[in-house]
């Protein structure tokens, strides 16, 4: 079974740099810690044809999950679900449960249900609406072939609330049987180019390990590296043991290169 995930963060404001894409960081982090393999994070304009083409491409690979963010609201440029419907060969239909959710939100504020508000209740056929405890637009859970397509609003506080309360609990039931443990430390005095062969040797000798250096100083004048280590596998004890062993070897190698370990 595939454990691959594609994330699509949609909106002109994202690709133009007017809004910092915190949703991509949030989703990538949470999905990785669940044990999924996030292979792509794509930002696109609010262009139905473009989004649908990239969605179709992703679907050809049969990922376990595709997550889209943004474009679920009532305005003319909120067209993500059109793109999802087009990519999956489905129709947009009025979903009664989504409409109930929306009516409930606006009735509390004494506001009428308009065509623009009804638009948010039109989902791809076969989709389930995801409750939005913060905003008004429901999300979407759509099972298409072997892939689950999850569409969430672009407003971070809405996305995060829906993820915590509804999406992640369901993903936990289908997440890979994989434990993830991580650790990071800093080492001063070792250029990244000197660290590169150390990492290469470590990665070659261990499976279920990912090691990455992040330069925080100057490569020559004042090298400072943040070293990130992730271990993953089927049992917590084995994963923890491998992580401890790898970190110990890394620190020893960096000290041999004249580095100073800073925990």
Q: Give the structural domain span for 134.
A: 4-172
Looking at 132, 150, 172, the residue that finishes a domain is 172
- Are 108 and 93 part of one and the same domain? yes
Q: Which residues of the chain have pLDDT under 70?
A: 1
pLDDT of the residue at 43: 97
pLDDT of the residue at 25: 96
- Are 93 and 214 part of one and the same domain? no
- Are 133 and 258 part of one and the same domain? no
> Model's pTM, two decimal places?
0.88
- Are 137 and 243 part of one and the same domain? no
Looking at 172, 187, 211, the residue that finishes a domain is 172
pLDDT of the residue at 245: 93
- Are 161 and 186 part of one and the same domain? no
Number of folded domains in the chain? Answer: 2
Q: What percent of the chain has pLDDT over 90?
A: 90
pLDDT of the residue at 177: 84
- Are 136 and 23 part of one and the same domain? yes
- Are 183 and 230 part of one and the same domain? yes
- Are 193 and 86 part of one and the same domain? no
DSSP the chain: ---EEEEEEE-HHHHTTSS--HHHHHHHHHHHHTT-EEEEEEEE-S-HHHHHHHHHHHHHT--SEEEEES--SSSTT--HHHHHHHHHT--EEE-HHHHHHHHHHHHHTT----HHHHGGGEEETT-EEEP-SSSSS-EEEEEETTEEEEEE-SSHHHHHHHIIIIIHHHHHTTS-S-EEEEEEEEEES--HHHHHHHHHHHHHH-SSEEEEEEE-SBTTTB-EEEEEEEEEES-HHHHHHHHHHHHHHHHHHHHHTT-EEE-
What pLDDT, in 10s, does the model give residues 133-176? 999 999 999 999 999 999 999 999 999 999 999 999 999 999 99
pLDDT of the residue at 208: 86
Looking at 137, 172, 207, the residue that finishes a domain is 172
The CATH code of the domain that includes 208 is: 3.30.70.600
- Are 88 and 72 part of one and the same domain? yes
- Are 142 and 227 part of one and the same domain? no
- Are 133 and 247 part of one and the same domain? no
The CATH code of the domain that includes 85 is: 3.40.980.10
- Are 101 and 221 part of one and the same domain? no
């Amino acid at each position: 079974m595939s454990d691959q995930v594609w994330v699509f963060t949609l909106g002109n404001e994202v690709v133009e740099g007017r809004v910092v894409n915190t949703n991509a960081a949030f989703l990538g982090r949470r999905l990785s810690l669940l044990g999924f393999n996030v292979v792509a994070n794509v930002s696109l304009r609010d262009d139905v044809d473009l989004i649908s083409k990239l969605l179709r491409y992703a679907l050809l690979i049969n990922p376990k999950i595709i997550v889209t963010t943004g474009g679920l609201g009532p305005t003319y440029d909120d067209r993500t679900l059109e793109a999802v419907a087009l990519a999956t060969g489905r129709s947009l239909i009025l979903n009664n449960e989504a409409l109930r959710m929306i009516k409930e939100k606006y009735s509390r504020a004494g506001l009428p249900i308009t065509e623009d508000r009804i638009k948010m209740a039109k989902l791809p056929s076969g989709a389930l609406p995801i409750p939005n405890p913060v905003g008004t637009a429901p999300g979407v859970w759509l099972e298409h072939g072997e892939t689950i397509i999850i569409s969430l609003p672009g407003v971070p506080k809405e996305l995060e609330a829906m993820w915590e309360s509804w999406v992640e609990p369901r993903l936990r039931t289908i997440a890979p049987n994989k434990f993830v443990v991580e650790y990071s430390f800093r080492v001063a005095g070792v250029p990244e180019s000197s660290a590169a062969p150390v990492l290469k040797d470590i990665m070659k000798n261990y499976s279920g390990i990912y090691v990455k250096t992040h330069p925080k100083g100057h490569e020559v004048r004042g090298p400072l590296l943040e070293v990130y280590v992730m271990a993953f596998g089927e049992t917590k004890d084995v994963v923890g043991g491998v992580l401890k062993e790898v970190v110990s070897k890394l620190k020893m190698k960096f000290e041999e290169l004249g580095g100073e370990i800073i925990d």
